[in-house]
Structure 1
Amino acid sequence: MNYLVFRLYGPMAGWGEAAVGGDRPSALHPSRSAILGLVASALGIRRDEVTALDELRQALGVGIKSYTGGELTRDYHTAQVPSHDRKRRFYTRRDELDAPKHKLNTVLSSRDYRSNGYWVVALWLCGDSRHDLAALADALKKPVFPLYLGRKSCPPAAPLMPTQVEGTLKEALDWIFPPLLDDTKQDRQWLRMGQYSHYCWQGSVDDLGDYDGVQSRNVWDEPISRVPWQFGTRQEHQLTLPVGEE
C-alpha cells in the first residue's frame, strides 16, 4: 500500500481525552481526531464545513508510532470567556475580550501536556476523497491554517517532512526521519526515549504484522461533528516492541 508518513515533535503537546469538570488530561499519543484536525487545518477546511470534514474522516486511515510520549506537565489554566449571546458572534479573541466586563466569566481548569514527545504518523486512503496523498503532503508542507499539536498553544517545533512510502504499515511507521539533533543517538538521549516503541493503528489486528501481544480497546476519538464537539467510539490496536526488535 501507499502511505503518507510525517513526524510530530514539540516542546509541548496536548492530546485531549475525555474531560470531567475542570480537569483536561492528555493521552500519550495523538488521537485520531487530533490527526484529522491537523490535516483539515492544513487543507484549509473550517470547523463548520461539516461535509468536507466528514469526507476526510471517512477517507483516511491513521497509524501512529510513539517513540516517546514525553514528560507530564500540568498547567493551572485561567481564561476569560463571554456569556453566551445568540445575538452576537465572536470572530476573534479580541472580540470576546471587548465584551462588557460584567458579561465576562472566568473559567478555571487544570490542563495536562506532554513535554518533548516524538511521534510518527502514517496516513492511508480507505475511501473516496477529493485529496490524494500527494495533495495532503503538499498541504502539510504549506498549510492554509497554522498547525498545532492538539492545542493551539502547542505548535510543532520541527518540520513535519511528509513523505510518501510504499510498503507495509510497519515499514511506513518505521520510516527514519533526519535526527532533530546531530545524530539519532543524541535524539534518544535528549528526548529521553525509553527502550520500547509503541504502535497504535486502526483496522485489523494483523495489519501491522504477525505479532503476539497486540491489545485492542475502544476509544472515543472518532469525530462526529466539530460544531457541537461530538465524538464516537472506534477500535484501536496497540503493540509495544523493544527498541532493536522493531
Structure 2
Amino acid sequence: MTAPSAVLLLRLAGPLQSWGVRSSFNRRDTGAEPTKSGVIGLLAAAAGLAREEPLGQLPLLRLGVRVDQPGTLLRDYHTVSDFRGRPLPQAGVSAKGIQKPTSPAKNTHVTTRFYLQDAVFVAVVEGPEDLLRTLDAAVHNPAFPLALGRRSCPPTQPVSLGLRATDLETALRTEPWQSSSFARERYAARLGRERGLDGPFHPAFIDRSATLEDEAGDDVLQDNPVSFDLRARAFTSRRVRHTWLSIPTGYDSIDDETSDGHAQDMGHDPFALLGW
C-alpha cells in the first residue's frame, strides 16, 4: 500500500543566503533561488545525518520554490592567508597527495563570494507523510545548525510553516505571501502611486515566480544530491518547470476587491520580482 503523501513548507529567509551553482576555486557564486541540494542539505542537517551517511529517501522528495522576496546581490571582497605566515598552497597536489606550494610564493589569495541579501523564499517538499512529519519535528529541534546554503548564513525563524495535506503546486499557490512587512508596504505604496491614489493600494493577490520539480518540465538542473561526502560528492539532474503563481497577500484589509476576493486589474506584473 502506498504511503499517503503530504507537503512540508519551509520559509527560507535571513540577512544572507548563498545557494552555490557554479562555485569553483576563488569564486563562490549564488543562484537566484534555493537549490535542491541546499534544501535537502538543510533537512539532512536537521535530521542529524553526517556528511558521509546515505541520504535515504531525501533526494526522492519533490521540491517547489516560490520567490516571495528576491533580495539583492552582495559581492564580498574576501582575502585568505595562512595565520602562520607561510606561503599559500596551490590547487595542484604532488604524487603523495600533498598540495604543492605556490611558485612564485604567494601569501594572500583574493576570493570573490556572492550572497543574496534580505531574500525570502517558500520551499515546499512533497513526499510520504510519515517522513515529512519526522523532518518537520527535526527542523523545530535540529541536530546540527541550519544554514541557507552556507554555514555562515543562518535562517530567521520560523523555518517550518508546517505540513499540509495537499500537493506541491497547490501549497505554493495558497500559502500567504511571506515577504517582510517593509517590502509589502513598499509594494503597496508603489501600486497606490500607479493608480493615482492618496495612499497605498493593498491587493488581495500578487504574482510571484516559482520553480517546480516536474518530470515534464522544459528545464534541467544538476542539483539533486546523491552524496554530500566530501570525498565523493555527487549530484544528478532533475527536470523543473518555471511559472508564475497568483498567491494571497494576507493583508488585513483588502482594497478594491471584487466579489470573489481578487483585486481588480491585478494582471501579471513584469517588475514584481525587482521589488519595485
TM-score, normalised by the number of residues in structure 1: 0.73
The residue aligned with 1:116 is 118
Partner residue in 2 for 1:238: 242
Greater Rg over alpha carbons, structure: 2
How many aligned positions are there? 214
- In structure 1, C-alpha distance between the alignment counterparts of 2:245 and 2:123, rounded to whole Å: 17
- How do 1:45-194 residues align onto structure 2 when only pairs under 5 Å count? 45-49=49-53, 51=54, 53=55, 55-80=56-81, 107-125=109-127, 132-176=131-175, 186-189=182-185
CA offset digits 1:125-145 (Å, max 9, x no partner): 16xx9x611111100111000
Which residue pairs with 2:22 in the alignment? 18
Contact 2:59–2:224, Cα closer than 8 Å, also in 1: no
Distance 1:20 1:240 in 2: 32
Partner of 1:90: none
Is residue 209 of structure 2 the alignment partner of residue 201 of structure 1? no
- Relative to structure 1, the CA distance from residue 23 to residue 189 in structure 2 (aligned partners, 3 Å threshold; closer, same or farther) is farther
> Structure 2: which 5+ residue stretches go unaligned?
83-87, 98-105, 192-205, 248-265, 269-276
Question: What letter is aligned with 1:197?
Answer: R
Q: Tell me how far 1:225 sits from its aligned partner.
A: 2.5
TM-fit CA distance, 1:234: 1.9
Distance 1:223 1:80 in 2: 32
In structure 2, C-alpha distance between the alignment counterparts of 1:191 and 1:229, rounded to whole Å: 42
2:6 alignment counterpart: 2
| Closer, same or farther: CA 134–242 of 1 in aligned 2, 3 Å | closer
8 Å CA contact 1:28, 1:70 repeated in 2: no
Q: One-letter code of the match for 2:75?
A: R
The sequence identity of aligned pairs, in percent, is 27
Aligned residue type for 1:202:
E
1:57-87 Cα offsets, whole Å, 9 max, x none, are 3432211111122101000123357868999
Structure 1 letter corresponding to 2:151: K
Give the drift of 1:24. 1.6
**Secondary structure at the residue paired with 2:239?**
strand
How has the CA–CA distance of structure 1 residues 65 and 34 changed in structure 2, closer, same or farther, with 3 Å as cutoff? same
Letter in 2 for 1:167: T
After superposing the two structures, state which structure 1 stretch, 228-237 or 115-124, moved more. Answer: 228-237
Offset at residue 191 of structure 1 (A): 8.9
Q: Which amino acid aligns with 1:147?
A: L
Residue aligning to 1:224: 226
User: Where does structure 1 lack aligned partners over 5 or more consecutive residues?
Assistant: 88-103, 206-214
CA-atom RMSD in angstroms: 3.5
Per-residue Cα deviation, 1:212-245 (whole angstroms, up to 9, x for no partner) = xxx7211121223222333222212111246667
CA contact (8 A) 1:225 1:231 kept: yes
The alpha carbon displacement at 1:202 in A equals: 1.1
Preserved contact between residue 116 and residue 191 of structure 1 (Cα < 8 Å): no
Distance in 2, matches of 1:132 and 1:245, equals: 38
The C-alpha deviation readout for 1:117-172, integer Å capped at 9, x for no partner, is: 1111111116xx9x611111100111000001001111012211331112232221
> For the structure 1 residues 106 and 118, does the alpha-carbon distance in structure 2 shift closer, same or farther, using more than 3 Å as the test?
same
Distance 1:242 1:133 in 2: 26
What is the CA distance between 1:176 and its match in structure 2? 3.5
